[in-house]
Each structure stands twice: as C-alpha cells, then as structure tokens.
C-alpha cells in the first residue's frame, strides 16, 4: 500500500491548482451573482484536457486515470464548484457513458468533440416525478422502426442550456419496467426539443440548470446507446462513476473552506491573540482536518477501485455520502470561524457553504447512497 501520489499525479494536481487560482478565482463571486460561466473558460478547461480526462486519446481525450480525475476535481472545486460540476458531468456521465457503451460511430461523431471541450454534454435522467425513483420514467421513446419519437419533460439538468449533446433516458416499453428503458443521444436543435428557462439556484449558480421539453422529437435508431432495454443499467453504471466525481467535488468544497478558515484564524485576533490559539477554534480546525482527510481517503479508494477494474458501486456511494456530509458540516464551520466576515461574499466561504448543499442531492441523494451501500452490505 502506497499513499504517496506519483510525480505525474502531483504535476496534474498542481496544474489544476494553478488553473483554479489564476483563471477561476478572478470573477468567481461575480459569476455566482450573475449566474453565468463564460464559454471562454470552458474552452480553456478543454485545452488543458479537463473535459475528457479519462477518455482514450484516440477519441481526443487525455487518457488519464480516475486518480487524476479526482485530483483535478478537488482542486477546481476548492475555488469554483460551478466549473467543476460542468467538468464532472461532461467527464463521468457523458464521455464515460459514450466511451464505455457507445458504438464506434457514436464515439467518432460525438465523443471526439465532447472530450476536447469543443462540445459540452448533459445527462438527462431526472423528471418531475422521477428523481430518486429513477425507474419511474414518464418520458417515452416510441419505436417507429428506423427512429424513435421522444415525448416528456426532464428536470434539473446540469449544462441544460449550454450543451450540444444530451443523453436522454426514456421509457420505450412500460410493460417491461426498468428493462424497457433506453438511453438516447439527442442533439441540440432537433425539432421539438426545447430548453426551458435557467433555474435560480441556492448554489453552483454559475452552472446552468434547466428543464427540458421533448415534443415528438425524432431520434434516429443509431442514436440509441446499447441494446434495446439497456437504458436503466446504462444510467446506473454511469452514475456510479459520476458519484466519484461529485464526491471529489464535495471534498474540494470542504478543503477549500477549511484552507480559508485556517488562514483567517491565523490572522484574525480576538481577546489579545490570533483566534486559532483559542481552543474553541483550534478544535474546529482539528475536526475539519481529520474529516477532510478521511473523505479524501474514501474518494481516492473509489477512484482506485475504478482504475483497478474493481466494482466501485459501493465505494463511490460511500465516498459521496461521506464527503458531501463533511462538505456541508465544515463549510458551515468555516463560516462560523470567519464570524461576521463569513456572512459576506468577498470572503468566499458563504458561497462554498451554499455550493456544498447540492452534493448531498444530485447524482443520488445521501438517502439513495445509503440504499446502495446497505444493499451491498446485506448482499455480502
């Protein structure tokens, strides 16, 4: 067992840290206020290889491992979780889904542009009445021979407005339950595919989240991913990897808030000394550091499982469950350590606290992670 990062991993981490400091930090508060994220920054992340981190270079990707992926996610998330969710969804849910389960034609047509950041992707599973209960898909995809016709609504879709490629999960044969669900590649601009207004959110406000409407959208048969009825398993397998990305995002949010709180506590004086010298603050720092390190070990273990070809359904669920809890609890503590300044936007911790909440909700709520973990434990 070796807990050291390789030289290559350290270089990748430092490149992501440098990018986050020089490119993401300036303007992060303004982007949060305005709910925007410029295409220019997405393009730069693409140039650095962050949009297709684990994709084979023959499809335009960076060919890195999952450890590199979580290192990049942690560093980006310390500064801007809106940027990192774009990276996570594009990498784990869209690029991975296409590379692992798509046809060669689908990879050539879609993956090559998604992996470089020339195009952006979205993953469309959630519906008004099918969030956690993902088998209850109301969106239909009727088989018309050489094409499918999709009708329905998808909610809370990350990258919903800015994407070029949408992976859409829909019910083809209700009688077959989850075995009648398929996944489709839908392109922006296909007739009948409409993008609703941007949601006004608590956190990750720079990332765009939309409701999508499908009214008789004709999708060619060659755009179905996998065998007929593979769609639910496609979603579950893809989400297992996505949860590693979101776990790393939560870790980064927690670590970013901790680093700010530590620095502040060494500068701010009260009762004649820096506040880190007061046990009330020092013990908070000790708890934060310990919990963040534990979350990092779970995140790394999940990524390592993926790299080793091990099953990572449980390790990704545990990493996400724990890291998101740590992110929520310790961003609140970081605000507390900052006192009145913590409540003010320019100190960044209030944004990190708002951003932390979604990590307990998307890509499977904490309650869903407990279902996955408990089922795995009972089966063992």
The encoded tokens of residue 93 equal 């849910």
Facing residues of 152 across strands?
A: 214
Phi-psi region of 124 (alpha: psi -120 to 50; beta: other; left: phi over 0): beta
Among 127, 313, 333, 355, binds ligand CAA (CB under 6 A): 313
Q: Please give the angle made by the CA atoms of 361, 367 and 370, to the nearest 5 degrees.
A: 125
Query: Interface with ligand CAA includes 9 (CB under 6 A)?
Result: no
DSSP state of 222: G
Of 318-377, binders to ligand CAA (CB under 6 A) are 362-364, 368, 371-372
Query: Interface with ligand CAA includes 132 (CB under 6 A)?
Result: yes
Query: Interface with ligand CAA includes 96 (CB under 6 A)?
Result: no
The encoded tokens of residue 94 equal 């869209």
Among 233, 268, 301, 357, binds ligand CAA (CB under 6 A): 233
Rounded to a whole number, what is the distance in angstroms from the first to the last CA of the chain?
24
Among residues 23, 74, 75, 363, the one annotated as catalytic is 363
Spatial CA neighbour of 263 closest among 283, 285, 287: 285
Query: Interface with ligand CAA includes 135 (CB under 6 A)?
Result: yes
Compare residues 231 and 256 and give the one whose CB is closer to ligand CAA.
Answer: 231
Compare residues 36 and 135 and give the one whose CB is closer to ligand CAA.
Answer: 135
Binding mask 146-185 for ligand CAA (x = CB under 6 A): -----------xx-------------------x-------
Query: Interface with ligand CAA includes 123 (CB under 6 A)?
Result: yes
Q: How far is the CB of 273 from ligand CAA (least distance, A)?
A: 44
Query: Interface with ligand CAA includes 236 (CB under 6 A)?
Result: yes
DSSP string, 290-302: HHHHHHHHHHHHH
Spatial CA neighbour of 123 closest among 175, 81, 148, 86: 86
Residues 6+ apart with CB under 8 A from 379: none
The encoded tokens of residue 39 equal 């295409």
d(CA 343, CA 331): 12
Compare residues 289 and 304 and give the one whose CB is closer to ligand CAA.
Answer: 304
363 is an active site residue: yes
Q: How far is the CB of 136 from ligand CAA (least distance, A)?
A: 8
Q: How many chain residues interact with ligand CAA (CB under 6 A)?
A: 23
Among 44, 138, 147, 237, binds ligand CAA (CB under 6 A): 237
In Å, what is the CA distance from 305 to each residue of 55, 357, 366, 369?
A: 17, 26, 21, 17
DSSP state of 21: I
Please list the active-site residues. 363
Interacting residue ranges for ligand CAA, rule: CB under 6 A: 89, 123, 125-126, 132, 134-135, 157-158, 178, 232-233, 236-237, 239-240, 313, 362-364, 368, 371-372
């Amino acid at each position: 067992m070796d807990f050291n990062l390789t030289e290559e991993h350290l270089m990748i981490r430092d490149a992501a840290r440098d990018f986050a400091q020089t490119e993401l930090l300036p303007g992060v508060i303004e982007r949060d206020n305005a709910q925007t994220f410029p295409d220019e920054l997405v393009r730069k992340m693409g140039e650095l290889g962050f949009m297709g981190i684990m994709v084979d270079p023959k499809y335009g990707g960076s060919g890195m491992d999952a450890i590199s992926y979580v290192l990049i996610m942690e560093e980006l998330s310390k500064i801007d979780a809106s940027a990192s969710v774009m990276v996570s969804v594009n990498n784990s849910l869209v690029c991975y889904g296409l590379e692992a389960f798509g046809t060669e034609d689908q990879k050539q047509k879609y993956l090559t542009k998604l992996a470089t950041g020339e195009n952006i992707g979205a993953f469309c599973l959630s519906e008004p009445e099918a969030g956690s209960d993902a088998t209850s898909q109301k969106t239909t995809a009727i088989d018309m021979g050489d094409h499918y016709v999709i009708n329905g609504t998808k909610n809370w879709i990350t990258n919903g407005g800015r994407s070029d490629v949408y992976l859409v999960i829909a019910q083809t044969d209700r009688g077959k339950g989850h075995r009648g669900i398929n996944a489709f590649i839908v392109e922006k601009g296909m007739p009948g595919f409409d993008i609703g207004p941007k949601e006004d959110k608590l956190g990750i406000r720079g990332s765009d989240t939309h409701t999508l409407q499908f009214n008789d959208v004709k999708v060619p048969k060659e755009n179905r991913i996998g065998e007929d009825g593979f769609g639910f398993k496609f979603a579950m397998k893809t989400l297992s990897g996505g949860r590693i990305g979101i776990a790393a995002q939560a870790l980064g949010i927690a670590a970013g808030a901790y680093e700010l709180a530590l620095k502040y506590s060494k500068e701010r004086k009260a009762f004649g000394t820096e506040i880190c010298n007061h046990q009330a603050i020092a013990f908070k720092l000790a708890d934060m550091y310990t919990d963040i390190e534990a979350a990092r070990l779970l995140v790394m273990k999940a990524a390592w499982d993926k790299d080793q070809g091990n099953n990572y359904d449980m390790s990704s669920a545990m990493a996400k469950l724990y890291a998101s809890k740590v992110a929520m609890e310790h961003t609140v503590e970081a605000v507390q350590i900052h006192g009145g300044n913590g409540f003010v936007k320019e100190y960044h911790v209030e944004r990190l606290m708002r951003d932390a909440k979604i990590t307990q909700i998307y890509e499977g709520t904490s309650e869903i992670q407990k279902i996955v973990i408990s089922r795995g434990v009972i089966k063992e």
